[in-house]
Every structure is written in structure tokens, then in C-alpha cells.
């Protein structure tokens, strides 16, 4: 995935605003404008997105805030996710407990979570929306109402699908979105929490600003998770370009879709082929991805196992509790990320698909 952020000339008007205001962080005027434009985009009426220095920090602080009054320390999450999900839990003082995902959605099943006999041992539940899918917000609203357990949705790559769904304002649980350069909407580094709960929004503002609540005394065990005005300048320029950037990703995905009509042995991941865009293009390989990774590399085509073999296979989480993970292990063997970016050309996509055709004969 080749990141493509706004060019210097598009940033200049916003950088000049920073120079004029001499306000570089701490909820400056650019951050307030960025928040307001994002709130309108996501249809939030009562709150604005809470902006953080990274998506990982957004998840960490939200977990710390929502699990602060519970004695439990375990945090249920899928192993099929990027390590940041589990690392954020650790940084919040919780221990990841890895569960398997549903074979059709590649995500935690809300029904399977509700059926667990050990739900009272968890401080929080963190479902992950894989690779830009729309989270099942209604189902997770039901889970948190039914169990009383905090649910925080890690929807790191779901910027576009959340907007297109129009459902964000109906979510009773907070949603974490990454603004990293590798996402469809990136600002270099950053993240946000989408919530319609004003009480939680205020609490997160306190936590991310050293535990300060309007003064200079720490009333909570907070940290520094703020987003600078410079990152907000990139964000505002990126919003100016968003229709063009989104069209680029949509065009690349459509070209892949046309080419895949001749590659029936490969299947795309759940949720692909609709009206939403993502910054990754994952496929299921028929006999495992290792051979194709090696073969495509010989064609000078780089691929990714975006989530490796799952978090449970990472050395940092060797001792973390887990359920049996047969579907995660299968996905780890068969999922392959192909090149994708907003400016990927038809000829480049043709070259990828030609190489796949050659290697899958």
C-alpha cells in the first residue's frame, strides 16, 4: 500500500494559519475545525470525534477509561487483528484473551460472545472490523446492553464504510478509527474515537490531556495523547481532497474486480465488491499463500500478510490466554494482501493479475 498524503502546496494555507495563531497543540483552532468537519461527515450531532496522536492511543485511552472501575483485567478480542489492538490493551493495564473469528465475516461473532460462559471474567470486549468492513453496530449495542460489559470497536480501517453506512450516530459503543498514512483517509499519524455519549467524550478529553479537566491539576491517571495542529493541517487538506482520493481507491478496486472475473480460484475477503473503499485488497488463496508470495516476488510484486499469523503467534503474547483458534490459523495460511493504492494504475493492476494467472495455472 503506497501512502499518498496531501502535497506541500495544499498544506500551505493551513500551515500559515498555525503561524498566525502560534497555537501548536492543545485543542487549537485547526483541531476544532477538523473535529467539526469530521462530525458532519459521520453524522454526529451531539458530540465531535475525539482526536488522538494515534489509533493505538485512542484505543488504549478508551479501554483505560471504560474499564477503570472493574476489578477484572482480561480483555476479549480476536487474535485475527493487528498487534496494536492487543498492545493497546496491555498499555491500558489489561491482558488480551484471544478468541477465534467467524469464518464468513473474519470478525468476532456477537452471538458467540453472548454464548460464552466466562463473560463475567472480562473487563472489556474489543471486536475488530477487519480491513475496513462495516462493524455490526446493532449487534454490539445488544451485547453491551445484555452483558453490561464495555464494548469498544476497533474499526481502524473503516473510515469510509462507517460514513457510507450512515449508522455511526446509532452506535451505543465507542468506535476507534485510525488516521495512519496507510488508511484510505490518512494524515500521517493519528486516530479518533466516534461516540455519541457526551459523558464519555468529556472523560476521554481529560484522559488524553494529562488528566486535566480545564485546569492544571491531574484529576485522573491520564497521559499525553493529543493530536498536534500540524497533523490537523494535514487532516484538513486531506478532507479537501477526500472525494478525489476516495475515487482513486474505488477505481483501483473496480479494476481488480473486473480482472478477478478470470481468476475464479481466488476469492476476495468478506465485504469487498460493494460501494465502500478500503486501503487493502486481501484474497483467499486456494492452497495457501506462501507459494504465491514467493512467486509474485519473482515478478517484482510485493505482497503482505497484513496480520501475520495472528496476535497469538507474536512473541509478545506467547503467554496470553486464548481459545482454540482453528479459523484464525486457516486465515493466516491462506490470506494474501495484494498491492493497492489510490493511484495504482490499470497497467499495474493488469501486471499483478497477469502474474497471478501465470502462477495459478
- Report the run of H or E that residue 192 belongs to, with start and end: strand 191-194
C-alpha cell at position 271: 465485504
* Statement to judge: residues 185 and 281 lie in one domain: no
* Statement to judge: residues 43 and 172 lie in one domain: yes
With beta carbons less than 8 A apart as the criterion, state whether 255 and 44 touch. no
* Statement to judge: residues 98 and 220 lie in one domain: yes
Among 237, 256, 278, identify where a domain stops: 237
pTM of the prediction?
A: 0.96
Among 237, 253, 280, identify where a domain stops: 237
Q: What residues contact 341, with CB distance under 8 A and at least 6 apart?
A: 1, 2, 3, 4, 248, 249, 252, 279
* Statement to judge: residues 47 and 189 lie in one domain: yes
Is 105's pLDDT higher than 90?
yes
* Statement to judge: residues 86 and 12 lie in one domain: yes
Binned at pLDDT 50, 70 and 90, residue 273 comes out as low
Is 272's pLDDT higher than 80?
no
pLDDT for 162-177, tens place per residue?
Answer: 999 999 999 999 999 9
Is 25's pLDDT higher than 90?
yes
C-alpha cell at position 311: 496476535
pLDDT of residue 224: 97
* Statement to judge: residues 106 and 169 lie in one domain: yes
- What average pLDDT does this structure show over 239-267? 93
Among 195, 213, 237, identify where a domain stops: 237
Is 251's pLDDT higher than 70?
yes
Q: Which domain holds residue 328?
A: 241-360
pLDDT of residue 353: 94
pLDDT-above-70 percentage for the chain = 100
* Statement to judge: residues 178 and 252 lie in one domain: no
Q: In sequence order, which ranges of 220-336 are alpha helices (DSSP H)?
A: 229-259, 290-298, 326-334
Amino acid at each position: 500500500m503506497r501512502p499518498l498524503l496531501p502535497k506541500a502546496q495544499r498544506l500551505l494555507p493551513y500551515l500559515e494559519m498555525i503561524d498566525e495563531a502560534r497555537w501548536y497543540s492543545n485543542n487549537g483552532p485547526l483541531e476544532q475545525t477538523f473535529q467539526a468537519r469530521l462530525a458532519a461527515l459521520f453524522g454526529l450531532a451531539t458530540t465531535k470525534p475525539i482526536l488522538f496522536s494515534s489509533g493505538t492511543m485512542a484505543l488504549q485511552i478508551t479501554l483505560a477509561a471504560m474499564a477503570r472501575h472493574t476489578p477484572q483485567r482480561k480483555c476479549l478480542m480476536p487474535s485475527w487483528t493487528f498487534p496494536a489492538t492487543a498492545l493497546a490493551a496491555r498499555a491500558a493495564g489489561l491482558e488480551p484473551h484471544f478468541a477465534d473469528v467467524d469464518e464468513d465475516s473474519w470478525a468476532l461473532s456477537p452471538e458467540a460472545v453472548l454464548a460464552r460462559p466466562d463473560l463475567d471474567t472480562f473487563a472489556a470486549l474489543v471486536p475488530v472490523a477487519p480491513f475496513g468492513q462495516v462493524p455490526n453496530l446493532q449487534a454490539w449495542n445488544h451485547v453491551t446492553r445484555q452483558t453490561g460489559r464495555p464494548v469498544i470497536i476497533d474499526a481502524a480501517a473503516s473510515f469510509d464504510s462507517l460514513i457510507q453506512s450512515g449508522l455511526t450516530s446509532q452506535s451505543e459503543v465507542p468506535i476507534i478509527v485510525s488516521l495512519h498514512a496507510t488508511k484510505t483517509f490518512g494524515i500521517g499519524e493519528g486516530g479518533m474515537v466516534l461516540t455519541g455519549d457526551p459523558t464519555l467524550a468529556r472523560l476521554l478529553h481529560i484522559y488524553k490531556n494529562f488528566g486535566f479537566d480545564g485546569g492544571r491539576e491531574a484529576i485522573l491517571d491520564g497521559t499525553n495523547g493529543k493530536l498536534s495542529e500540524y497533523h490537523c493541517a494535514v487532516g484538513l487538506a486531506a478532507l479537501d481532497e477526500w472525494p478525489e482520493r476516495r475515487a482513486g481507491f474505488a477505481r483501483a478496486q473496480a479494476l481488480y474486480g473486473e480482472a478477478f472475473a478470470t481468476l475464479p480460484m481466488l476469492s476476495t475477503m468478506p465485504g469487498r465488491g460493494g460501494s465502500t473503499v478500503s486501503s487493502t485488497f486481501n484474497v483467499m488463496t486456494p492452497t495457501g499463500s506462501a507459494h504465491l508470495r514467493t512467486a509474485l516476488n519473482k515478478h517484482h510484486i510485493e505482497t503482505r500478510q497484513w496480520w501475520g499469523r495472528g496476535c497469538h503467534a507474536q512473541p509478545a503474547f506467547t503467554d496470553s490466554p486464548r481459545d482454540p483458534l482453528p479459523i484464525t490459523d486457516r486465515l493466516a495460511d491462506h490470506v494474501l494482501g495484494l498491492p493497492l493504492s489510490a493511484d495504482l494504475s490499470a497497467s499495474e493492476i493488469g501486471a499483478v493479475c497477469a502474474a497471478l494467472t501465470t502462477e495459478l495455472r
